[in-house]
């Protein structure tokens, strides 16, 4: 996580935006009166929303934790995938 003041961000906007999108860096833009801003990539934002949705529902959370437990215990199986052509 990087912290940068508004003036520095403004003068180096492309560089900071590249860090956010290419390196998945989170940037805190510091402002007066502690009214800071967080800059994240759209991909990171969408992932956060998806995680909040999945973990925000108790049934989803329980299902995910049970799946994780099964994986950690080695209770898994593999299956061959069947390729289907567009003509079928």
Residue 76 lies in a domain: no
Residue 88 lies in a domain: no
pLDDT tens string 4-20? 999 999 999 999 999 99
Residue 80 lies in a domain: no
Distance CA 57, CA 78 (A): 29
Question: pTM here?
Answer: 0.65
Q: 35 and 48 in one domain? A: no
Residue 62 lies in a domain: yes
Give the range of the structural domain holding residue 10, as residue numbers without chain letter: 2-40
pLDDT tens string 24-81? 999 999 988 889 999 999 999 999 999 888 888 899 889 989 999 999 999 988 889 8
Residue 84 lies in a domain: no
With a CB cutoff of 8 Å and minimum separation 6, the contacts of 39 are 16, 17, 20, 26, 27, 28, 29
The total number of structural domains in the chain stands at 2
Q: 8 and 36 in one domain? A: yes
């Amino acid at each position: 996580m990087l912290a940068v003041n508004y003036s520095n961000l403004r003068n180096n906007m492309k560089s900071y935006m590249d860090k956010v999108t290419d390196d998945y860096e989170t940037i805190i833009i510091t402002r007066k009166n502690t009214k800071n801003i967080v800059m994240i990539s759209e991909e990171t934002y969408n992932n956060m929303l998806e995680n909040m949705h999945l973990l925000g529902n108790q049934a989803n959370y329980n299902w995910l934790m049970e799946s994780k437990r099964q994986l950690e215990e080695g209770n898994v199986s593999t299956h061959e995938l069947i390729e289907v052509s567009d003509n079928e």
